[in-house]
Structure 1
Amino acid sequence: MVEGAATAGSLRAMFAGAIMGIYDREYYRGETHGSGWLTGLAPATKAIIVINVIVFFLQPMLGHELWSHLVASSDDIFRHGYVWQLLTATFMHEGIYHLLWNMVFLWMVGREMESFYGTRDFVALYLSAAVLSTLGWAAFDTFLGHNGTSMLGASGAIMAVVVVYAMYYPHREILLFFVLPVQMWLLVVIYLAHDAYQLIAQPSSGIAVASHLTGAGFGYLFKHFDLRWSRFSWRRVTRPRLRLISPEPREKPTTRPAGPTWSPNPATTLKPSTTAVLPEELLDAKLDEVLAKIAREGRAGLTEEENRVLQEASRRARNRRSDRI
């Protein structure tokens, strides 16, 4: 028996109406250019969707033996050491609706999550969730003694991304049946409640709900404890902190000036209440560094000082526009 990671037919039908909703909102329409459904997607999100589609159409050519080595089997993973199945099973799907269901949800939430975290951290989130959700299913399958079953599908990994999205934007609405607005947090609660019920009442239902729940749990931990890969990178540890300092020699004034107050220690980082007066050229250079970091790691990886650089650059840009008016 193959345990596809798709949901039950009735629940699938209910959520199918959610394909609209998020992408019917103004902030998505404003970011989309062109008419293709992949247009405007962040690179990793697009690559994951394309890889899944290509693999799906290659599956009939694999042959049974190769196919059985790529889908997840708890017996193969724990007894024979086929650890690659923890990842390869995520890129395989049981049928066209199984593939479509998973890719639509990734299409809905993946772009914004990748833009927020940056490509590297988003890929780390997705692949880590893929491995852990498959491992969670394999452990539960072994507990039940179903060592001859197999599992495939991206639902566990996508569930992690959806949970992270819902934690950031719990009150964003999607349209069930294209009519009924439902907030993201409620959608996730309904989905998880359904899976939890099936896990308890129908553990042999043929749906890999243990994978869904493991992925959701990892998504919660990822957001709650900020488990971004870039936080544990050696480059982040060794990279010197960005400091806003005055280009002029600092001397302690005898009287309190009307302008900004500088620390007498040149190496001291400015307090949040202090506004750094930087030459335009120095601010532009620091702004370039911050924008390059956002492109690599996403806005979530910025330090307090780097956020102040953005705020100061934004303030000066507004002032220049006001002067022209």
Structure 2
Amino acid sequence: MMRISDTVKHLIIINALMFIGTLAIGNGNLFYEWFAMYFPQNDAFKPWQIITHMFMHGGAMHILFNMFALWMFGSPVEQVLGSKRFLFLYISAGLGAVLLQVGFYYFQYLPDYNSLLESGLSSDSIKQMLSTNEVIAGVSNSQVVLLKDIYSAFNASMVGASGCIMGVMAAFGMMNPNAELMMIFLPIPIKAKYFIPGIIILDLISGLTGQSFFSPSNTAYMAHVGGALTGFLIMWYWKKNQFNRNRWN
């Protein structure tokens, strides 16, 4: 059995403690309100959520799958990179996940939001209706349609270590391109150099179309893509500079 590396072990412990705290304190809501990542235009957003959401999970299966993947891919990656570079990769992938997912939300939000402003609604009234899901008097049907279009983005929240882990998986694939991997429901060995890009492509398609393949429909698919892309770029840079202080192999 593969030995768990130190940083991976500590990350799993932190995630487990945060999950226990979520269940034990505030009837399951308080930690979520404090530490989940909310859309920046929403009053529920706080700057620390950019980091804390990486250690939050939405349910037992969510954290179990993520921590299993962290152990399976993270330990061999940390053994090569060392604890400091592994942690840098992990947190950077989580930040890349936030950046792409929130950017995608803004891409959905801003055009209709600007149209609502141009139609005569104030920013305060728009925020009030999006926050309460109640339409104020005098709002036209066309404005209601635009409000419905941006309601999901405005009220979106994000939790989980998936973006971080996708970055770690990208690193694992670059280090071990011929390692054979299998899905639980598809027990066919596939080399990492095909398996991991395939997962990323499916996430990208899901994010753009809303078509879910393996994950729940409320998954932040673009966060997966952002995490994987960040992990790939970091590893590409380190590999390119393998003969200087940035080397990873």
Identify whether the pair has TM-score above 0.5, normalized to the shorter chain. Answer: yes
1:191 counterpart residue number: 199
Give the letter aligned to residue 74 of structure 1. Answer: F
Secondary structure of 1:225 counterpart: helix
1:155-179 CA distance string (max 9 Å, x none): 0000000011101111111234484
Secondary structure of 1:164 counterpart: helix
Shift of 1:76: 5.6
1:300 counterpart residue number: 248
Secondary structure of 1:58 counterpart: helix
Give the letter aligned to residue 168 of structure 1. Answer: M
Distance in structure 1 (CA, Å) of the matches to 2:100 and 2:79: 28
Secondary structure of 1:82 counterpart: coil
Q: Structure 1 152/170 Cα, relative in aligned 2: closer, same or farther at 3 Å?
A: same
Q: Structure 1 131/203 Cα, relative in aligned 2: closer, same or farther at 3 Å?
A: farther
Q: How does 1:214-225 map to 2 (within 5 A)?
A: 214-225=226-237
Distance in structure 2 (CA, Å) of the matches to 1:100 and 1:92: 12
Secondary structure of 1:182 counterpart: strand
Q: Structure 1 85/197 Cα, relative in aligned 2: closer, same or farther at 3 Å?
A: same
Give the letter aligned to residue 225 of structure 2. Answer: L
In the alignment, is the contact (CA less than 8 A) between 1:45 and 1:110 conserved in 2?
A: yes
The size of the alignment, in residue pairs, is 197
Q: Structure 1 227/169 Cα, relative in aligned 2: closer, same or farther at 3 Å?
A: closer
Secondary structure of 2:182 counterpart: strand
Distance in structure 2 (CA, Å) of the matches to 1:142 and 1:48: 30
2:181 counterpart residue number: 174
In the alignment, is the contact (CA less than 8 A) between 2:56 and 2:160 conserved in 1?
A: yes
In the alignment, is the contact (CA less than 8 A) between 1:169 and 1:184 conserved in 2?
A: yes
TM-score normalised to structure 2 length: 0.71
Distance in structure 2 (CA, Å) of the matches to 1:203 and 1:147: 21
Q: Structure 1 68/181 Cα, relative in aligned 2: closer, same or farther at 3 Å?
A: same
Give the letter aligned to residue 11 of structure 2. Answer: I
Match of 1:201 among 198, 209, 220: 209
Cα RMSD, aligned residues only: 2.8
Q: Which has the larger radius of gyration?
A: 1
Shift of 1:81: 6.8
Distance in structure 1 (CA, Å) of the matches to 2:45 and 2:161: 21
Shift of 1:65: 4.4
Shift of 1:104: 1.0
In the alignment, is the contact (CA less than 8 A) between 1:86 and 1:132 conserved in 2?
A: no
1:114 counterpart residue number: 78
* Percent identity of paired positions between Structure 1 and Structure 2: 28
Give the letter aligned to residue 68 of structure 2. Answer: V
In the alignment, is the contact (CA less than 8 A) between 2:12 and 2:67 conserved in 1?
A: yes
Distance in structure 2 (CA, Å) of the matches to 1:202 and 1:76: 23
TM-score normalised to structure 1 length: 0.55
Matched, 1:74 2:42: no
Structure 2 unaligned segments of length 5 or more: list them. 110-152
Distance in structure 2 (CA, Å) of the matches to 1:83 and 1:76: 12
Shift of 1:69: 2.2
Secondary structure of 2:163 counterpart: helix
2:155 counterpart residue number: 148
Higher-helix-fraction structure: 2
2:164 counterpart residue number: 157
Match of 2:22 among 51, 55, 59: 59
Which structure would you say has the larger RCO, counting Cα contacts within 8 Å and 6 or more residues apart?
A: 2
